[in-house]
A and B are shown apart, each in its own frame.
Chain A
Amino acid sequence: MRILPFDYAIRNLGRSPLRLAMSVVGSMLVVMLMIAATAFVRGMEKSLADSGSDRNVILLGAGSEESIERSEIKASVPTQAAASLRGVRSTLGQTFISSEIHMALTVGTTRDEQSKAQVVVRGVDLPAFLVHPQVRITQGRSMNPGANEIIVGKLAATRLGMDDAQLALGKTIWFDDIQWTIVGRFTAPNTVMDAEIWVPLNDLKVSAKRDTISCAVLTLDDDGEFEDVAAFVASRVDLELVAVRESEYYAKLVAFYRPVRVMIWVTVALIALGGILGGLNTMYAAFAARVREVGMLQSLGFARRAIILSFMQEAALASMAGALIAAAASLVLLDGVAIRFSMGAFGLQLDAIALAIGLLTGMTLGVIGALPPAVRCLRLPITEALKAA
């Protein structure tokens, strides 16, 4: 099949600068939106997925499997678990079992003035750093118990809608009617912990007036089996516990947010649909004006398929131009932007997949945009086409 020169498609783009501009801008907007939505969803999913490790097991209060913040277990559970369970990792005599309290609290820079957002405050002891190796202190030091000291995660400021400077080392914040001093900053990239505030466990117990903890998180060693933990939980009915793999817990959270993700995708699909319909209109008009030209090309000997291919090249060029601009703009404007969302915060994930999806969208817009109008244009017999206005 003899195909039309690629040059033909390129030159035809310049026929109507206005139409070309409309196509490029339309494609750019839709692709940018697609990239943003993908980055949002991937960021959200990743921060949840990476938060959970396969080798960690969470002991929660029975009935609270869906939400650690709701869970309450006896403070003695970690000790009892350490005594009864084999297969729990330990190093230099320190067992990898972390007692933790997770609470969503409002904090403020002064006693009276509260930020409107809540942040997850996690009461922890030293083992927490062993059980959650993703956490690294980047500035200052870890907190000392009994001194109202805290450390804050990298995205905590975003979470609270505050300036990062307000949570710098040495600054103080208030919650539970107590003033706390920031002695360290940590990062736990792509996990929910990145947006948390960590407090010594006992200090939080005192300030929150509670004698129970939320959960115990333990790390299995190479020989350890989840089933052993499950057996322990089943045998100690008095403790009213339930054991969940940390990765499963966060996977459930990802599933919990499915309606929100669905909503985002539906919105994006609708906007893309609107863009496609507008683009189709433009293409119909563009090709309808060339019916006679198409008849002439056919009379020269070019097959219908060759002409359709050329039209598609033209449309794809315009939409890919828009897509590339969108990709570049997104990289500059969107990558890493922190979003506050439902008790946490995460960064937009503008990775290869998000960009690939965006570019693929651009390509698809071009192809879909050209195909129906091109086919319609070529419907007429050659003699009719040559007579067309």
Chain B
Amino acid sequence: MKIFHKCALLTWLGIVLSGCGPSPTFLNPASSIAEHEAKLYNNILIMALVVFVLVEICLIWILIRDRNPKGDNTPPKQIYGNSKLEITWTVIPVLLTVILFVMTVQTMQSVAAPAASANDINLHVIGHRWWWEFDYTNLGIKTANELHIPVGATVQITLDSVDVIHSFWVPQLSGKTDVVPGQTNHMWLTADQTGVFIGQCAEFCGLEHALMRIKVFVDSQDDFNAWVSNQQKPAVQPQTAEEQAGFEDVSGVCASCHSLNPAESENKVGPNLAHLFSRSTFAGATYDLTEENLRGWLHDTQLMKPGNIMSIKLAPEEIDRILAYLKLLK
């Protein structure tokens, strides 16, 4: 079975890599969870392919062999059934279902969440239309759309939604868990290699479901510690007059929906801005976070993500001021 598994994995990797760029596929797992799921997928694929090939070969063989010769009008021998055969092809699938069941139970046990421990990272994921709020409950950090986790750590996740059903999914790290309003779901994550892994909302949640994406940075422990200590700092104070003016705009206009406090306990309707420019993307991990893109966004949010709830009209000079301040929020 092992060698089959390797072959299947290589075949799939071949297919997957033949596309244009690396796919977020669980067949190229970055965690033990996704690896177990990929193994199970491949083993079942092998079983299914064996059945598929046998049945289709049998079918094609019959089609070629038993074609009625032209001009032959005599009926073939009439056969009504065969109890032995029929029992055989009922019992074999029953046995296969037992095997499937055992494989399912085994994998479910292998990917079950470990008991909570003091070293775990506790993460509260909150689904919004259409962005992700990430609350590191024991680190005092609130951020959005981009997740940082240290390699090898156990991340215990609780999931809630403030509006409709979403689904949290980063294929290379774990299968998906629905984010259901009024019901707190649980899942866990772990990653066994550093890197950046992408995912996105998997349950249709309305207009911009397609632009509700996730980026997970799996950092080395040192990088993660550095990230945490930076995120825990309060937002930078403005220095120049322009930055000061921008800060006042942000505190006035933006603050009703966005917080500048990384440990804000109040639930705001928009992403936390305290360390906005430490992120690589914005608007549901859709656009690269560059000054140019952000300027376009502030100019007309509906053009870049039609239907999102941020609707604001800003004069160009206001945008300049706000950007001057926001850029400081590394």
A and B interact: no
Instruction: Report which A residues bind B (CB closer than 8 A).
Output: none
Instruction: Report which B residues bind A (CB closer than 8 A).
Output: none
